[in-house]
Structure 1
């Protein structure tokens, strides 16, 4: 993957973002590792009952979330999502991190094909590699 870094380079802007968003991130950084458990979200139907829809996620919080927030400033997509390349074990894929206000972090969706390839299930504690994609061609 070719990495471009169009992140902030103005020292005053970087200082402001560090103060406002937290973290001590160099504008050259754009890759992190995070460890956590896979969890399952289940949707609810109009009647309030659980639906068959479900998604597996990994919560990205703490220092890594703060660093991503700073490094991706000005490069977010719909709903504040951030384009990334993620890797677990030998499997890599392109996806988006979705912001979660409650945890001041992000949610990383773990696709079924990734879970199958890496033999993962809800509750498994995994290490994910995250690399920002500042520009994504469609």
Structure 2
């Protein structure tokens, strides 16, 4: 199956826990399409491998299903947040490619 690329803007948020994890939630339509096309091949915890671009930052990671939010969430590592000047509540322009 060919890789699929998605472009969207989503708000940066912080997970309410001891560790300061930051995420963006995928828009419902994007999440639904990814689930339909790739959900059957998900790895541990339902993760799906992706390559991500935000501004001039590019990295590989995984998206994870979040039952509470009803979508996939994308972790935003600190190095990217710092490099791109992102803080909680900021809109983030994302290009995501399922690999």
User: TM-score, length-normalised on structure 2?
Assistant: 0.91
Count of matched residue pairs: 99
The corresponding residue for 1:30 is: 4
Q: Which protein has the bigger strand share?
A: 2
What is the root-mean-square deviation in Å for CA atoms of aligned residues? Answer: 1.3
2:13 to 39, 51, 66: 39
Deviations 1:58-83 (A, max 9, x none): 01131111111112132211011110
User: TM-score, length-normalised on structure 1?
Assistant: 0.67
2:67 to 85, 96, 101: 101
Deviations 1:11-44 (A, max 9, x none): xxxxxxxxxxxxxxxxx5611012111001131x
SS at the partner of 2:15?
A: strand
Structure with more contact order per residue of length (Cα contacts < 8 Å, sep ≥ 6): 2
What is the rounded CA distance, in whole Å, between the counterparts of 1:81 and 1:29 in structure 2? 16
Kept after mapping to 1: 8 A contact 2:3/2:97 = no
Extract unaligned runs of 5+ from structure 1. Answer: 6-27, 44-50, 134-138
Kept after mapping to 2: 8 A contact 1:30/1:71 = no
